[in-house]
Amino acid sequence: MRSLLDLELILVTLTVVSGLIWLGYWLKTRNQPAGKVDPVIVDYAKSFFPVLFVVLVLRSFIMEPFRIPSGSMLPTLEIGDFILVNKFAYGVRLPLLHNKIIETGEPKVGDVAVFRFPQDPSIDFIKRVIGVPGDRITINDKVLSVNGIPVERVSKGDYIPIAGGDQGDDQALRLSETLNGKLHDILIDPNVSSPIQDIMVPPGHYFMMGDNRDHSNDSRYWGFVPEENLVGKAVFIWLHWNIGSTWPSLSRAGGIE
């Protein structure tokens, strides 16, 4: 999930600039008689600063919206899903700097998490947490095991691709998987080979995989996600709109498992 513009930087800049203009003018004129007409730029700053400040606080510390651009999390998340990410779930972080200032929680196995791609932090990725620090992850012949225990899964038959864009492979199989007591569906493509792995998740890192297991660029190929790259936990689909293929719809609105 990549933004064409650094919205966080723009939002922080506009909030700071409008706030400084308003504050500077107030300090300059606070002892002058009331009734003076404010300059246009000050009037705009006074109008926009409260709105920008509220949006900045909500987006940075509480909830942030994202759009799903690829099918790596099918069938859980479809291309065109608009989701809300809980920014409070994995610690409160300063905007731009991303330094954690308040501990609020840690990712749990089975969470769907958004994080900054370790190889290019300007790109946001979304995957499922498969391993937390200290877990041993084994993948052999597409069978996933965590700490030596194979993850329970049940076949649900062939996957029927979703109409509208690249929404899955018609050769894929759909399975129900239970990970840390949480039930969700995954896709397996029998025509694609899977890497064999047996690794230990190091301290301060996480192992992530997409639910579309054989069509996901994830920790199997580029390694672990550092704790400082975490953005938040995906919690809710509020709109579906695969632009160019479908109309906006609330049919998929609901929580993310």
Q: Which residues are part of the catalytic machinery?
A: 72, 127
Q: CB count, 10 Å around CB of 206?
A: 27
Of 214, 254, 217, 221, the residue nearest 235 (C-alpha):
254
> 111 burial class (0-12, 13-18, 19+ CB within 10 angstroms)?
buried
Of 134, 88, 35, the residue nearest 230 (C-alpha):
88
DSSP secondary structure string for all residues of 142-198? TEEEETTEEPEEEEEEE--PPSSSS---TT-EEEEEEETTEEEEEEE-TTS----EE
CB 16, CB 23: distance < 8 Å: no
CB 54, CB 47: distance < 8 Å: no
